[in-house]
Amino acid sequence: MLAKTFPQSFESMLINYWQFACAHKRFLGFGFVMAFLSSPGQTYVIGVFSPEIQAQFDLDAGSWGRTYMYGTLLSAAIITWSGSLIDRVDLRWFASISLFGLGTACLLISTAYSPVFLVVGIFMLRQFGQGLSSHSGITSMARYHAADRGKAIALAAIGFAFGEALLPLLAVFAMAEWG
Protein backbone atom coordinates (compact mmCIF):
# COMPACT_ATOMS: atom_id res chain seq x y z
CA MET A 1 0.00 0.00 0.00
CA LEU A 2 2.81 2.42 0.86
CA ALA A 3 4.47 1.77 -2.50
CA LYS A 4 1.32 2.99 -4.28
CA THR A 5 1.34 6.20 -2.24
CA PHE A 6 5.05 6.84 -2.76
CA PRO A 7 5.96 5.36 -6.15
CA GLN A 8 9.58 6.51 -6.14
CA SER A 9 12.11 5.77 -3.47
CA PHE A 10 13.31 8.43 -1.10
CA GLU A 11 16.79 8.26 -2.63
CA SER A 12 15.52 8.85 -6.17
CA MET A 13 13.40 11.73 -4.90
CA LEU A 14 16.47 13.34 -3.33
CA ILE A 15 18.39 12.83 -6.55
CA ASN A 16 15.56 14.52 -8.48
CA TYR A 17 15.66 17.50 -6.10
CA TRP A 18 19.44 17.68 -6.33
CA GLN A 19 19.37 17.60 -10.15
CA PHE A 20 16.65 20.23 -10.21
CA ALA A 21 18.60 22.45 -7.80
CA CYS A 22 21.80 22.09 -9.85
CA ALA A 23 19.99 22.88 -13.09
CA HIS A 24 18.35 26.03 -11.66
CA LYS A 25 20.80 27.10 -8.97
CA ARG A 26 20.87 30.79 -9.83
CA PHE A 27 17.12 31.32 -9.75
CA LEU A 28 16.55 28.99 -6.80
CA GLY A 29 19.35 30.88 -5.05
CA PHE A 30 17.40 34.08 -5.61
CA GLY A 31 14.32 32.53 -3.98
CA PHE A 32 16.41 31.22 -1.08
CA VAL A 33 18.10 34.58 -0.51
CA MET A 34 14.82 36.51 -0.64
CA ALA A 35 13.27 34.09 1.87
CA PHE A 36 16.35 34.39 4.10
CA LEU A 37 16.44 38.19 3.86
CA SER A 38 12.80 38.44 4.92
CA SER A 39 14.01 37.57 8.43
CA PRO A 40 14.51 41.13 9.77
CA GLY A 41 10.77 41.66 9.27
CA GLN A 42 9.83 38.43 11.01
CA THR A 43 8.77 38.32 14.65
CA TYR A 44 11.61 35.96 15.62
CA VAL A 45 14.20 38.63 14.77
CA ILE A 46 12.26 41.67 15.94
CA GLY A 47 11.60 39.88 19.23
CA VAL A 48 15.33 39.65 19.94
CA PHE A 49 15.46 43.44 20.02
CA SER A 50 12.23 43.91 22.00
CA PRO A 51 13.85 44.43 25.44
CA GLU A 52 16.17 47.13 24.08
CA ILE A 53 13.35 48.84 22.18
CA GLN A 54 11.13 48.77 25.25
CA ALA A 55 13.92 50.22 27.40
CA GLN A 56 14.79 52.92 24.83
CA PHE A 57 11.20 54.15 24.62
CA ASP A 58 10.23 53.33 28.20
CA LEU A 59 7.45 50.99 27.05
CA ASP A 60 5.82 48.35 29.18
CA ALA A 61 4.88 45.02 27.59
CA GLY A 62 1.37 46.23 26.69
CA SER A 63 2.58 49.46 25.09
CA TRP A 64 5.21 47.58 23.09
CA GLY A 65 2.57 45.06 22.01
CA ARG A 66 0.26 47.82 20.82
CA THR A 67 3.10 49.55 18.96
CA TYR A 68 4.01 46.28 17.25
CA MET A 69 0.35 45.61 16.49
CA TYR A 70 -0.13 49.04 14.89
CA GLY A 71 2.86 48.58 12.59
CA THR A 72 1.79 45.04 11.70
CA LEU A 73 -1.83 46.04 11.01
CA LEU A 74 -0.74 48.94 8.82
CA SER A 75 1.37 46.51 6.82
CA ALA A 76 -1.48 44.02 6.60
CA ALA A 77 -3.81 46.75 5.38
CA ILE A 78 -1.75 47.44 2.26
CA ILE A 79 -0.05 44.10 1.53
CA THR A 80 -2.76 43.03 -0.90
CA TRP A 81 -2.11 46.17 -2.95
CA SER A 82 1.68 46.23 -2.65
CA GLY A 83 2.00 42.49 -3.15
CA SER A 84 -0.06 42.64 -6.33
CA LEU A 85 2.55 44.94 -7.87
CA ILE A 86 4.68 41.86 -8.52
CA ASP A 87 2.25 41.09 -11.37
CA ARG A 88 2.88 44.45 -13.04
CA VAL A 89 6.49 45.30 -12.17
CA ASP A 90 9.64 43.57 -13.38
CA LEU A 91 10.81 41.08 -10.73
CA ARG A 92 14.26 42.69 -10.54
CA TRP A 93 12.70 46.05 -9.69
CA PHE A 94 10.22 44.54 -7.27
CA ALA A 95 12.93 42.64 -5.39
CA SER A 96 15.28 45.63 -5.41
CA ILE A 97 12.60 47.94 -4.03
CA SER A 98 11.70 45.34 -1.39
CA LEU A 99 15.31 45.03 -0.23
CA PHE A 100 15.89 48.80 -0.34
CA GLY A 101 12.74 49.29 1.76
CA LEU A 102 13.92 46.62 4.20
CA GLY A 103 17.33 48.27 4.54
CA THR A 104 15.66 51.64 5.08
CA ALA A 105 13.40 50.07 7.71
CA CYS A 106 16.40 48.66 9.59
CA LEU A 107 18.06 52.08 9.51
CA LEU A 108 14.86 53.80 10.64
CA ILE A 109 14.36 51.38 13.55
CA SER A 110 17.96 51.85 14.66
CA THR A 111 17.60 55.65 14.71
CA ALA A 112 13.94 56.06 15.74
CA TYR A 113 13.57 58.78 18.33
CA SER A 114 9.80 58.81 18.86
CA PRO A 115 7.02 56.26 19.12
CA VAL A 116 5.63 57.47 15.77
CA PHE A 117 8.89 56.62 14.00
CA LEU A 118 8.95 53.32 15.86
CA VAL A 119 5.51 52.43 14.44
CA VAL A 120 6.63 53.51 10.96
CA GLY A 121 9.79 51.41 11.34
CA ILE A 122 7.82 48.35 12.47
CA PHE A 123 5.41 48.89 9.57
CA MET A 124 8.30 49.01 7.11
CA LEU A 125 10.02 45.96 8.61
CA ARG A 126 6.82 43.96 8.36
CA GLN A 127 5.90 45.29 4.90
CA PHE A 128 9.25 44.99 3.16
CA GLY A 129 10.70 42.12 5.18
CA GLN A 130 8.07 39.61 6.13
CA GLY A 131 5.70 40.77 3.40
CA LEU A 132 7.34 41.72 0.13
CA SER A 133 10.75 40.04 0.38
CA SER A 134 9.25 36.65 1.15
CA HIS A 135 6.49 37.28 -1.41
CA SER A 136 8.96 37.99 -4.20
CA GLY A 137 11.02 34.89 -3.43
CA ILE A 138 8.13 32.44 -3.26
CA THR A 139 5.93 33.99 -5.97
CA SER A 140 8.80 34.03 -8.44
CA MET A 141 9.42 30.32 -7.80
CA ALA A 142 5.75 29.54 -8.48
CA ARG A 143 5.60 31.72 -11.58
CA TYR A 144 8.80 30.70 -13.35
CA HIS A 145 8.83 26.99 -12.50
CA ALA A 146 5.29 26.01 -13.41
CA ALA A 147 6.09 22.34 -14.07
CA ASP A 148 8.12 21.93 -10.87
CA ARG A 149 6.63 24.67 -8.75
CA GLY A 150 6.40 22.50 -5.63
CA LYS A 151 10.11 21.63 -5.82
CA ALA A 152 11.09 25.23 -6.49
CA ILE A 153 9.03 26.61 -3.60
CA ALA A 154 10.26 23.88 -1.23
CA LEU A 155 13.90 24.57 -2.05
CA ALA A 156 13.55 28.36 -1.86
CA ALA A 157 11.61 28.13 1.41
CA ILE A 158 14.66 26.59 3.06
CA GLY A 159 15.82 30.21 3.28
CA PHE A 160 13.15 30.83 5.93
CA ALA A 161 14.53 28.01 8.08
CA PHE A 162 18.11 29.27 7.70
CA GLY A 163 17.01 32.78 8.66
CA GLU A 164 15.09 31.53 11.67
CA ALA A 165 18.02 29.41 12.80
CA LEU A 166 20.87 31.88 12.18
CA LEU A 167 19.73 35.49 12.44
CA PRO A 168 18.42 35.55 16.03
CA LEU A 169 21.65 33.89 17.13
CA LEU A 170 23.74 36.38 15.15
CA ALA A 171 21.70 39.28 16.54
CA VAL A 172 22.25 38.14 20.12
CA PHE A 173 25.96 37.67 19.43
CA ALA A 174 26.23 41.13 17.84
CA MET A 175 24.41 42.78 20.75
CA ALA A 176 26.68 41.04 23.25
CA GLU A 177 29.77 41.97 21.26
CA TRP A 178 28.97 45.56 20.27
CA GLY A 179 26.04 46.56 22.45
**Per-residue tens of pLDDT for the chain, all 179 residues:** 455 565 567 777 777 888 888 888 999 999 999 999 999 999 999 999 999 999 999 999 999 999 999 999 999 999 999 999 999 999 999 999 999 999 999 999 999 999 999 999 999 999 999 999 999 999 999 998 888 899 999 999 999 999 999 999 999 999 899 87
Q: pTM for this one?
A: 0.87
CA dihedral 2, 6, 12, 17 (to 10 degrees): -140
Q: Please report the DSSP string for 113-170 in residue order.
A: -SHHHHHHHHHHIIIIIIIIIHHHHHHHHHHH-STTHHHHHHHHTHHHHHHHHHHHHH
Phi, psi of 16 (to 5 degrees): -60, -45
* Cα 167 to Cα 42, 90, 91, 160, 162, distances in angstroms: 10, 29, 25, 10, 8
Where do the domains of the chain lie?
Answer: 40-178
> Would you say the C-alpha torsion 54, 60, 63, 68 has a positive or negative sign?
positive
